[in-house]
A and B are shown apart, each in its own frame.
Chain A
Amino acid sequence: MLSRVADSLYWMSRYLERAENTVRQLDVTMGLMLDTGGASEETRWQRLVASLGKPEGLEWDGDLESMARRLVFDNLNHAAITFCINGARENARQVREEISTEQWQRLNRLFHQIHSQQAQDQFASSIGDALSSVIDGIHLFKGVSDTTMIHGEGWQFIRLGRYLERAYATATLLEVYQPELFHPLLREHAGYQYLELVGLLRCCTSFEAYCQVYTADVSPDRILEFLLLNRDFPHAIRYCVDSIRDAIESIRHAGGRRPPEELTAGIGRLHAMLEYTTIGEVLNGDTAAFLHTIREQCLRIHELIYRYYVHYSIQSALAS
């Protein structure tokens, strides 16, 4: 597969995952704001911005609707949902011949939809509805990607992008929420604390899955265990890392080269860390540092993928 194509598929997928993550976090945050007894809108907004990786241009201006509009529709802001969807479509357009017609049509429809007047009207009448129709569009795209594309190398690069982005975003989210989980803002109101915890789970669409494993008995350490170490839930970081490892392995079998020692070791290290650490060890040690190192390792893996599959030097390629 052409390196440029692999790179575009990878970024198409990362952008969509990012858009989805942003939509969900915005939706959850706005939901939490309805219960006015909890933290202020400003505090929550700042937490949202922090868990999106502190993008610029989203400083609180006191008007929630205009802030939300900026986060959804501002084509120039790199964190905005339209910006991500534009990015995904632009990447898809450059590899139009690699993806299926169904995939392209889905993505194209999502793109036209979010830029339509109808989307603006819907946003004005119900932000929640507007956000769910974006999520629907993304889900449909993922569905046709899985059912209409050959599960070959290209598809594996799509997986790589999706899970790397997700692992990184979830680690960021947990890192931001983590101090509050154990030192709630308003300890006395159990009801609010419960909403906060459920909100965190909903940011990762994991509330129902969590209940199946732990019942509705939500507690910070269990949430952390679930989102970090669960091997079966697709939004848990461990699941993401397993998938990254699997994708790299499959790329090799699909005709790609043998991944370099550095890359397999990097992924293996992160994998082992999540496989062999118990939640007790995470909580008793430096939790923040643990989460932070996950993020750093994700960045490192991204860099290695780029250097090895996409932007290698000709000399090294001719030599091998």
Chain B
Amino acid sequence: MNAGPPLELETLFGEYPLDQAFDEMREPGGEVRAHYRALAETLAGLPHEELQRRKQSADLSFLTQGITFTVYGRDEGTERIFPYDLLPRLITAQEWTRIERGLTQRITALNLFLRDVYSEAKILNDRVIPSELVYSCKHYRRQMRGLQVPRNIYIAVVGSDLLRLNSGEFVVLEDNLRVPSGVSYMLTNRRVMKRTFPEVFSSYGVRPIELYPQLLLSTLRSLAPEGRSEPNIVLLTPGVFNSAYFEHTYLARQMGIDLVEGRDLVTHDNIVYMRTTDGLKRVDVIYRRVDDDFSDPLVFRADSSLGCAGLFNAYRAGNVTVTNAFGTGLADDKAVYAYVPQMIKYYLDEEPVLSNVETYLLGDVKQRQHVLANLDKLVVKAVGESGGYGMLIGPHSTAKQREEFARAIEANPRNYIAQPTLDFSRAPCLIGNQLEPRHVDLRPYILFGDKVNIVPGGLTRVALEKGSLVVNSSQGGGSKDTWVLE
């Protein structure tokens, strides 16, 4: 078929395995894909020591910048650097155009769905989506019924997870419509990358992403309550113990807005104020990085002190914009996810550009039986969880784990879905002195204010452990810079 890679590339690749999984860098025959060639040649031309030196300098830069995240459920030092792979993941302009079109379509439909469900619920009355599925979702918020949301935008900030299948096609694995995180890693990865491989970067013509904070700010501003021409915009964080705290501070600083905690806010007469050294100051827009449950103890969980009592009423009165809106988790419920293609058809009368992953709904008796019989081949997920928690990966599970899940599914089938174990794409990572393929996904960040805006690229997450399929940072995943080529 071909002569294989040249000699110096061969040493770099070493025992690099290729199988049916799509390899981002190499053709099935081993040849380096055209758009990866310049990168591969640069790498092959660098002495090992130089490659290691660049890696160390990148690592050090992350540590001193304090780019860390917190891992729950571990005793040893809760703060860790986010592991970072030195090699960028490349996406061609053509691939990106399709992703961008697909995500715009998808987010538009999801937003229409939320608006519909929280007002007339046409899609349920027309029986396109079963109402029991929606009303039994634990993220459905009855309090949102009939509430007028500024500009009808429920999901202003979104991060959707894409995978690339063996065929090379990108599919959507899930949508994060509540408080998606990771965008700060996308931005800092790029900064470090530009310093680590300046020559390669400039030779490639990579589309810039640095304007994200500014786009986010103007998105937030566009959602301010009527008549507030100079809105006071703040970012609400659960505080320093939250795993994404670094990101909250980073975004607040990059946008030049105040980072507030629940204890900084007070409400009076349905107006939200923050406590400043100059007395109370009115707040107009809240970019909320606190989950629904913890946002307002008067409306949601009463035992939470992370939010602000009275916030929801002020929101309902239209005196403050909170984004994303409450109750958006309904649309990223993993069982509701299965119906996104139908939503796109229903609201937009279009065919989905990006497909879903095949999903079994366990509320259905037939599907449930099939899943229970094939637990060792499937991935089972709890519908309302994120971050890789509450998941069973069939082929990597023990009989005991499968039994536990089977029992949990029987007890509450609505709470689980199953998907085939996906053979998703792998990209080369620098492991020691050689390149080895690791599974990667892609999380682009979508902003929705006046219109849908997607910065080209996103966060490529890597399952750094050999053979692992879990890319979540909470489960030992790392990240890569993502270059969308001109």
Interface residue ranges, A against B (CB under 8 Å): 1-6, 90, 93-97, 101, 104-105, 108-109, 112, 153, 251, 255-257, 309-310, 312, 314, 317-318, 320
Is B229's beta carbon under 8 Å from chain A? no
In chain B, what residue has the closest Cβ to A90? B240
Cα-based distance from A108 to B60 in the complex (angstroms): 12
In chain B, what residue has the closest Cβ to A319? B279
Is B260's beta carbon under 8 Å from chain A? yes
Which parts of B432-485 form the interface with A (CB within 8 Å)? Answer: none
- Interface stretch, picked from B10-18, B111-119, B269-277, B406-414, is B269-277
A96, B246: Cβ atoms under 8 Å?
yes
A97, B266: Cβ atoms under 8 Å?
no
B66, A97: Cβ atoms under 8 Å?
no
Beyond known contacts A1-B276, A256-B277, A257-B279: 14 more, CB 8 A cutoff: A1-B277, A2-B275, A4-B261, A4-B263, A4-B264, A6-B277, A93-B240, A96-B250, A101-B65, A105-B64, A312-B279, A314-B266, A314-B280, A320-B279
B240, A94: Cβ atoms under 8 Å?
yes
- Interface stretch, picked from B162-170, B251-259, B290-298, is B251-259
Residues from chain B with Cβ under 8 Å of A94 in the complex: 239-240
Is B142's beta carbon under 8 Å from chain A? no
In chain B, what residue has the closest Cβ to A109? B64
- Sample (14) of A-B pairs whose CB atoms are under 8 Å apart: A3-B264, A3-B276, A4-B261, A94-B240, A96-B66, A96-B253, A97-B250, A97-B258, A105-B64, A153-B277, A255-B278, A257-B277, A257-B279, A314-B266
B220-245 interface bits toward A, Cβ cutoff 8 Å, 1 = contact, 0 = none? 00000000000000000001100001
Cα-based distance from A4 to B280 in the complex (angstroms): 13
A97, B252: Cβ atoms under 8 Å?
yes
Cα-based distance from A320 to B250 in the complex (angstroms): 34
Is B348's beta carbon under 8 Å from chain A? no
Residues from chain B with Cβ under 8 Å of A109 in the complex: 64
Cα-based distance from A109 to B63 in the complex (angstroms): 9
Residues from chain B with Cβ under 8 Å of A320 in the complex: 279
Within the complex, the shortest CB–CB distance from A9 to chain B, in Å, comes to 11
A257, B240: Cβ atoms under 8 Å?
no
Residues from chain B with Cβ under 8 Å of A1 in the complex: 276-278
A2, B65: Cβ atoms under 8 Å?
no
A3-B275 CB under 8 A given contacts A96-B246, A97-B259, A104-B66: yes
Listed residue (B240, B277, B278) with the most chain A CB atoms within 10 angstroms of its CB: B277
Cα-based distance from A291 to B38 in the complex (angstroms): 72
Cα-based distance from A8 to B245 in the complex (angstroms): 16
Residues from chain A with Cβ under 8 Å of B266 in the complex: 314
B277, A318: Cβ atoms under 8 Å?
no
Listed residue (A2, A93, A256) with the most chain B CB atoms within 10 angstroms of its CB: A2
